[in-house]
Amino acid sequence: MFNSKLPGVGTTIFTTMSRLAAELQAINLGQGYPDFDPDPVLLQRVARALGNGHHQYAPMAGIETLRRAIAAKTAECYGARYDADTEVTVTSGATQALMTAVLAAVGPGDEAIVLEPVYDSYVPAIRLAGGIPVAVPLRPPRAGDPRYRPDWGRVRAAITPHTRLLMINFPHNPTGTVLQDDDLDELERIVEQTGILLVSDEVYEHMVYDGVRHASVARRPALAARAFLVSSFGKTYHATGWKIGYCCAPAALTAEFRKIHQFMVFSVSTPMQHALAEHLADPAPYLQLPAFYAAKRDRLAAGLRRSRFRPLPCPGTYFMLADYSAISDLPEIDFVRWLAVEHRVAAIPVAAFHGDPDAPASNRQLVRFCFAKRDETLDDALERMRAV
């Protein structure tokens, strides 16, 4: 036997709820993946890449055409100019990029700040690097302001001489919160005054609604200069199972990132990279995403308002939080199991995104629904939830 490096980690609630949904033949609005196919044009490009003999290892950092396409797209969207040769790396999904960035930046005894509720891969990555995760809560919804907000004062107060890294993900999973320009102002001041590094998880960058532009750290040179910027083709192109993402970072950070990347996965699926490079040349598919997903968001919200669930505002991502306090006093984890068993709809408890999911402060009677689903899937789920 040996000592576990992650003794507190077991089967995640995402795996548990997806397995339960399959066993019960429930509608799965829990785990965040679409139930529809990618663009047929992209699939044709994959088939063509397979037919053209792209079957061997790609270069470690990614094929040149894809790295150049990523750099061009990032410059067009945010004004940041990353060198495709030394500052862009193609990864095996965003999760691998996040893990690699943390391992590159955090050493034994270093502190890394996360914002809670926190996506489930961040804290394990910090611990595997020998670091100490420090959770700073988002400001929760309150009267007159039903959205979660970052509390930059608390972030600043959490920074110590041992703080190496701040991990952020906006649009935020699970709350849907997005940053504003004044948030970038605050973040810029924190970074300039403390010298900490950033990992900015921006996988939902193209899912920002109501005419609001995505506040990427790449918009601010002072932030981009100290940030690992991570995104995901799986999220953007409805192909989460392909597990292809990327990381943009200044050359010095990328050099350390690639030292780990080459021994973690070395390189990523070659034919998929060729197809994505060709597909990325046309911005229309990702520019259309806000309208596409806003319609699904509005469909889910309207249906929930006809039930006893109370939807919270969703300015970004393809997740919506809903308050079930008018339905039950059960803790969140018990409630989602009851909802799956009794009404055949799977959701995710927001408490699962807290370090102590059983603590009273972690159970706000909120669940997360994914609306990256076909309209008929959403309608079927809503019909079941109206009976709750």
In this predicted model, what pLDDT tens digit does every residue of 56-66 receive, in sequence order? 999 999 999 99
pLDDT tens-digit series, residues 96-120? 999 999 999 999 999 999 999 999 9
| Lateral strand order in the sheet of 310-311 | 310-311, 319-323, 366-370, 348-349
**pLDDT of the residue at 162:** 98
Name the nearest CA neighbour of 139 among 183, 192, 195, 98.
183
10 has pLDDT over 90: no
**pLDDT of the residue at 64:** 98
**pLDDT of the residue at 146:** 85
What is residue 149's DSSP assignment? B
1 has pLDDT over 80: no
172 has pLDDT over 80: yes
pLDDT tens-digit series, residues 325-337? 999 999 999 999 9
Q: Which two tokens stand for residue 53?
A: 């003999």
User: How would you class 366 by CB atoms within 10 Å of its CB: exposed for 0-12, middle for 13-18, buried for 19 or more?
Assistant: buried
> Kind and range of the H or E element at 19?
helix 13-24
Pairing status of strand 111-116 against strand 197-201: unpaired
| pLDDT band per the 50, 70, 90 thresholds, residue 2 | confident
pLDDT tens-digit series, residues 224-242? 999 999 999 999 999 999 9
268 has pLDDT over 80: yes
What is the mean predicted confidence (pLDDT) over 208-226? 98
What is the mean predicted confidence (pLDDT) over 86-90? 99
300 has pLDDT over 90: yes
| pLDDT band per the 50, 70, 90 thresholds, residue 159 | very high
9 has pLDDT over 90: no
| pLDDT band per the 50, 70, 90 thresholds, residue 380 | very high
Share of the chain above pLDDT 70, in %: 100
Side-chain-side CA neighbours of residue 121 (13 Å): 16
| pLDDT band per the 50, 70, 90 thresholds, residue 143 | confident
User: How would you class 235 by CB atoms within 10 Å of its CB: exposed for 0-12, middle for 13-18, buried for 19 or more?
Assistant: buried
Scanning the structure block, which residue is given the tokens 């679409």?
Answer: 34
313: phi then psi, degrees, rounded to nearest 5:
-55, 145
pLDDT tens-digit series, residues 326-370? 999 999 999 999 999 999 999 999 999 998 888 888 889 999 999
Lowest-pLDDT choice from 13-22, 87-96, 215-224, 242-251: 13-22
Tell me the pTM: 0.97
**pLDDT of the residue at 227:** 98
Higher-pLDDT residue of 15, 202: 202
pLDDT tens-digit series, residues 23-43? 999 999 998 999 999 999 999
Domains detected in the chain: 13-31+288-385 (3.90.1150.10), 40-282 (3.40.640.10)
Angle between helices 93-105 and 251-264 (to 10 degrees): 120
